[in-house]
Amino acid sequence: MNETCDRCGPAIGAAYRVDRVGELYLCGCCASQHWRALSAQGWTFWPLGVHALAPQAGYGPVEDAA
């Protein structure tokens, strides 16, 4: 995906996806500038290009394979 910053426009690539009810894409500069205010409102910041793994509902605890 080649997302662009929602504040700077299409010339600037996004570095973060910010989720709450909707989605925002922000460059590093805008994310740094608005991090505190958006976090206080319940927005969650996710770096783009990083795949996060989250536990899925219905699965038991992970057992050690060793």
| pLDDT tens-digit map of 12-53 | 999 999 999 889 999 999 999 999 999 999 999 999 976 555
**Residue range 54-66: average pLDDT?**
52
CA distances for 26 relative to 12, 41, 54, angstroms: 9, 16, 23
Residue 25's domain comprises 12-47
Predicted pLDDT at 25: 94
Q: Is residue 59 part of a domain?
A: no
Kindly state whether residue 5 falls inside one of the protein's structural domains.
Answer: no
54 lies in a domain?
A: no
Does residue 4 form part of some domain?
no
Whole-number pLDDT of residue 29: 94
Q: What is the reported pLDDT for 24?
A: 93
Residue 26: inside a domain: yes
Q: Is residue 30 part of a domain?
A: yes
Domain-located, residue 3:
no
> Which residues, at least 6 apart from 7, have a Cβ–Cβ distance to it below 8 Å?
26, 27, 30
The answer to whether residue 25 sits within a structural domain is yes
What predicted TM-score, i.e. pTM, was given to this entire model?
0.69
Work out how many domains the chain is built from and give that number: 1
